[in-house]
Structure 1
Amino acid sequence: MNAFDGFSSVNLFGEKSQKVSLRRGLDLVWGEFSLDSPVEYTFQTSGDACELAFVLSGTIYNSLPEVSFEVAVPSGYAAVWNPPKMKGVHGCFPEENICFVCVSIQRKFLREILSGEHYAKSRKIQSLLRKSRGDVLCHLVPMNTAMMAAVRDILFCPYEAEIGRIYQEGKSLELISHTMGSILSECGQTVGPPEKDKDSQIRFARRILLENMVSPPSLEELADRVGLSVSSLTRGFRVNYGASVFEYLRNVRLEKAQSFLSEGKMNVTEVAYALGFSSPAHLTRIFTARYDITPGEYRRSFRK
């Protein structure tokens, strides 16, 4: 993990994390660590920011005692919330490997970004854009593969100094985009309807599928969202990608599982749930059948 010269330490998990102000109204905090014993950290919210926390491993919890609010963000999830101005407490469980990225964006800046009509129709997103007056609005969103990739790009930024800041700013805005897109998808909305030709609709279906890998829509729902019949969607996937819709999804999940396991940041259970497998046993069965090696053995082979 790269640390940029001149970046100051932050209150979020104290010296365990790093912070950079990317631009006015946009801050980034990230960290990777484990604690031997329970430790809680206090923080002060500004009351004028939307916080997006992405947890790659471990569990992070936040609480605002003044309003009796608590939320735990498990591995593979993002939390989006707009806390009022008050003191809070955050922490993690001991002996867990914690790996996270947190993007803090001023509500005014976020409102400028989310000015399109698609966002105006979403009550969840509009609630995040309004100033909190004591109530706490929080959404837990399963991280899709695009979010996980952006988080890892931030953690392993290949550049330093000013170029690194520009790179991480782009990745932070990408995370905001993917997260808001996921919230829209929960409401049955999408950003940018596809062009009305079949190849574009098939590509759009693929995008929806990959952005919702943890909890994909059914075949009927996917076909309806892109304006195709189930048979046309299935035939289009076979022509364009050489597999049925869910065969294609399974292949992508297995490729991502290989990548995550080789990095060694997550264990087999975390990888299974992060990619939408029903259980670690489900991942083990399919992975072993495909690669003739168990996920655990594959992961250990990169630690020798």
Structure 2
Amino acid sequence: MNGDFHQNFTRFFLTLGILKPQEKSKQPMTFQSAIKEGAIHRLMPRTGLEVIVSDYSFHQEHQMNISTVEPMVEIGFCLQGTREVHIANRQYEVKAGTCTLQLIEQVEASFLFKKEESYHMVGIGIPVSTFNHYMEKINGNNGASINFSTVLHGSCYRLFQEEINPLDMGMVKQLLEAIATNRMTNLELESMTLQLLKRTFQTFFPPPTNPVEFSQGDRAKLVQAQAIMIENMMTPPSLMELSRLVGLNDFKLKKGFKEMYGTTVFGYLREKRLEKAFYLLQNGTMNVMEVANAVGYSNPSHFAEVFKAKYGLTPRDFIRYRS
């Protein structure tokens, strides 16, 4: 798991239409195709650390397929555009305004880019060994229980996604400004990038509030539980099924999940369902019933009730307001 993960980015850029993806140039890379426009900055402040700033759009809908050659970890900040990716018969969406953490084995991936939609993203890639080292430092002496393999839990891909918090957004904007004006040294770029990595890892793998009662192994299983609920949003497992899937007893699952994420398992699921519903309604391609079904609500009245409780408007009022 310690090969040259930079090859994954090189393959992506070649498939995207950049004929000569430069690995150590401060000049932006541009496209060699009439169907897309924009540029990508590719920076490597040191070995084992890659920073990508992408800002491009397509003049027509575009799909591209790529296979990774080395396992890797990538955090991302999606500032504009919603990108779809299909991996192992699952569809994932990286949405605007979100911070993501991706754990990627050797996979076959299919990306879909929409016509005339601008994509503006910042990505930071690291090898698996660096991720595992961070987990040990963040989680103390027992941190080895949370590592690349335990988080993947037999899968080839995991996506974690949350809204970008204001502090991180400020750091990202500062990073973009410095790169655009070419006034940041490699040491400064490395320092800021490592700060963003650490903060993102702490967002998705928060330190334990009660380390005596919950071991690092338990926390790794709670992270798996969170991922399972998100991946099965339409048909989530029961608490008993979830307990069996991650190998935690019912008491530890409920108590540990609330301490780790600040809410119950199904309270967390409800929040994520409503966030996705908000995005789908805002996107305007589905009606209220379709959105309700897409996020796992079979009763449209109940869906309208919980949506209004969170956003202050019923889904239908939200659509009228948006229009």
**TM-score normalised according to structure 2 size:** 0.47
TM-score, with normalisation over the residues of structure 1? 0.49
